[in-house]
Amino acid sequence: TAAIAVKTAREFNVLLTANPKPQTVHYLTGAPFVQLNQSETEHAAALAGIEVVHREGEPFPDEIGEQLRKMLELENLVVTKGSKGLTIFSDNDKKEHVAPHLVEVYDVAGAGDTVISALTLALSCGATPREAGIIANRAAACVVRKVGVATVTSAEIINEWESQV
């Protein structure tokens, strides 16, 4: 089960990341890294009994992410916000916003999977959560420019940086 995976990862100091559905995020209590998009975060928070006050058209209220992270005792909760970037809520009550990397979007299918994959790879290579978030944003920018569920290569991510210089 997820709880055993979290316990084992902690015991052996192994990086554990997850991109769960809102209904199952509570199984990952104590996990090092959980990633949800903002609507999933709101849904998970509501399921956890956290009062969610968010009006359509207004910015995502960061208090929801902070409360959910604390309630689930997560080391880090990454909330992706589409064209608004992402925010990393950490267990030291630190909140870091990673600005979006704006591109023309053709299809968002697979963007969340790309974010958690790139985030995991970057963290496993020694990146800080912020650095990993920046890399994940760039990887997702490459994917959403493609039609359908797509993959991204390291060369595409590097080219994304070079094209911005």
| Helical (H) or strand (E) element with 86 | strand 86-90
Contacts 24+ apart (CB under 8 A), 94-100: 95/62, 95/65, 95/66, 96/129, 96/130, 96/133, 98/130, 98/133, 98/134, 98/137, 99/137, 100/137
Q: Which of 62, 91, 93, 113 is catalytic?
A: 113
Q: What is the pLDDT of residue 59?
A: 73
* Predicted confidence (pLDDT) per residue in 94-140, tens digit: 899 998 877 777 777 788 899 999 999 999 999 999 999 999 999 99
Instruction: Specify whether 93 is catalytic.
Output: no
Q: What is the pLDDT of residue 164?
A: 63
Q: What is the pLDDT of residue 108?
A: 79
3-state secondary structure of 121: helix
pLDDT of 2 above 90: no
